[in-house]
Structure 1
Amino acid sequence: MSRISYQQQNFSVTDGQLSVHLHLLKDASQTLHFLHGNGFAVRTYDALLEGIVAQDNLMLQDAAGHGLSPAGEAFVGWERSSERFQSLLMQQRAEHDWSKVIGLGHSFGGCMTLLMSARQPDLFQKNVLLDPAFYPPEMIEQLMAQAQQGVSRKSLLVRQTERRRTHWQNAQEVVDSLRGRGAFVGWQERCLQDYVSASTHDNATGERELNCPPWLEAALFGSSPRSLWPALESINTPTFVLWGTATHEMFQTSYRLAQTLNPNLHFIEVQGDHCFMMQYPKETAELVRAIIDRGEEGVRALAHSDFIISYGG
């Protein structure tokens, strides 16, 4: 059970609905906006968010098929997804008169935050991205070419995702079957429990069922953000990228390249893999909070901790 209280509501967007969780304070000086990774409903990150939020408003959005957001009939694409997130954020920003918003996101959500920020430079005052899904340029070109030619060459990741197990007898069986396996290696128990609570549900037959259908998760993995690299080159919002030292090699390649393109991008290598914030939620939250409050100075203050491996500035 989260220590943060939320108001949850589904809002209409182009081609569907998205679930939004709001934590609102009367005297908040800023709003934190958080987006999740593919396959992980946004409330999976409760342990992390509890450590980050202080006297802040908090807005969380679930992508299609995640949490309480309906899946729809097809994946709308990376760019359209970012536009839908941006539209709802702008609605809430206007309604609640938010003057300062910080962009946060993991993996897919980190990429979404970057695209939104590049599209509208005054949207976020600062971005903190956790192992964002930055596909290498050649991979994006290949996926785009295949899509234009109508060719479907599914990667191993896509094929594995399509075969993902979707049903269990109960919630405890989900926990037991996932603990220490695949993407869940090293997760703290609290984070694993939050995943099961937020990303699965009891269906009509009494079984525990995955919220995000494998076809949707696979469709996301098998497509790409065509505007990613132009966005990385043009973004002028201070953007901090935290990446796990054992993350996917293709992401490491992208981070090294991106670091040479734009002085507004700051890269911090930390302990863990692609889901380091589930392995080290307390340490991640402390670092994210330091960046929110103090930017580069906050990183330098923690640079000698065991969690931070390197900081390129």
Structure 2
Amino acid sequence: MQDSLFKRTAIHFTHANGIPAPSYQKFFACFEDEFDLKSIPMIGLNPQYPITHDWRYLVDQIIDDIEQKFHARKVIGLGHSFGSLLTLMSAYKRPDLFSQLVIMDPPFVIGSRSPMFEIAKKLKLKAIDQLTPAGITLKRTDHWENHEQAYASMRHNPLFKHFDERCFQDFLACGLQQDIKRGGLTLAVPKIVEAEIFRTVPAWWWRTPRKAPAVPVHLMSAQNSPFYKQGFPQGMQKTYQINYSLMQGGHMFPLEQPEKTAELVKQIIARQKNI
């Protein structure tokens, strides 16, 4: 069994902000026959890797996890949203760890807005909560009496309403935990942690060499993604020569269409092997 795993192509996956990796089980299942896929269950909660203005320690967490889990094997870096940007940043720092990247809808702050965003961030201006989802996140309900109440409360929330049903059930299973102080259930990733990650999205790209990391990279976005509508993928293609493709759906497409997304990811992986 161990030998067969080592013969498979290695994938390291990094989850979206506030959406623990086990939420993606249906997506992961599509890779089981051909790939050895591993991930960090929840990012942002380990005090050894604190959240800072440039995510440097979170990047170190990705690098350390790859080194620990794959033992000198090169990996395909695969991530969603926050996780895709961490994966990309890790590849800039340690390209030797990666064979290729597939980044799904990264919040890549690019262009003229970058320096303004960075100033607002460093000065900790209240505007940062309006410029990012942090403000909405802090207003989210984060306490329920039981799973039934949590399901009814969140299922039609704009973030979750298009989730595949099994993906949503998997999110409830791993994304909720016992609330020690109030009783009932609360979020496994506290909303203050999720908001802090949103507030600290790096915007240093305007100061870096304007090229992709030294491995093949492809970006996936969706027609209804706010990042696509704001021109992030288009800007990355123009400035960094990182090509992109579009899916139907919104920003959470890997959890809305897990099987279709996985199939497209595998097609991209196959194409990039020949680059």
Alignment TM-score > 0.5, same fold: yes
1:174 — aligned with what? 150
1:243 — aligned with what? 221
- Residues 12-68 of structure 1, C-alpha deviations (whole Å, 9 max, x = no match): xxxxxxxxxxx9954433211000111101111111111133232221014444xxx
Q: Is the 8 A contact 2:14 2:39 kept in 1?
A: yes
1:211 to 173, 188, 192: 188
2:98 to 98, 105, 124: 124
2:11 — aligned with what? 32
Alpha-carbon distance in structure 2 between the residues aligned to 1:90 and 1:296: 22
Superposition CA RMSD, Å: 2.6
Q: Per the alignment, in what secondary structure is the counterpart of residue 221 of structure 2? A: strand
1:257 — aligned with what? 235
1:165 — aligned with what? 141
Q: Is the 8 A contact 1:118 1:231 kept in 2?
A: no
- Residues 253-308 of structure 1, C-alpha deviations (whole Å, 9 max, x = no match): 11111111234x220011010001111111101111122233388xxxxxxxxxxx
2:52 to 56, 59, 76: 76
Matches within 5 A, 1:1-313: 25-65=4-44, 69-70=45-46, 75-77=51-53, 78-94=55-71, 97-98=72-73, 100-156=74-130, 157-204=133-180, 206-228=183-205, 230=208, 233-249=211-227, 252-263=230-241, 265-295=242-272
Q: Is the 8 A contact 2:115 2:204 kept in 1?
A: no
Task: In structure 2, give the amino acid aligned to 1:88.
Answer: D
Alpha-carbon distance in structure 2 between the residues aligned to 1:167 and 1:286: 36
Q: Per the alignment, in what secondary structure is the counterpart of residue 268 of structure 1? A: strand
State percent identity of aligned pairs. 25
Structure 1 234/295 Cα, relative in aligned 2: closer, same or farther at 3 Å? closer
Gaps of 5+ in 1: 1-22, 298-313
Q: Is the 8 A contact 1:233 1:262 kept in 2?
A: yes
Alpha-carbon distance in structure 2 between the residues aligned to 1:197 and 1:143: 35
Instruction: Kindly indicate whether structure 1 or structure 2 has the higher relative contact order, using CA contacts under 8 Å at least 6 residues apart.
Output: 2
Task: In structure 1, give the amino acid aligned to 2:220.
Answer: L
Structure 1 262/64 Cα, relative in aligned 2: closer, same or farther at 3 Å? closer
Task: In structure 1, give the amino acid aligned to 2:12.
Answer: H
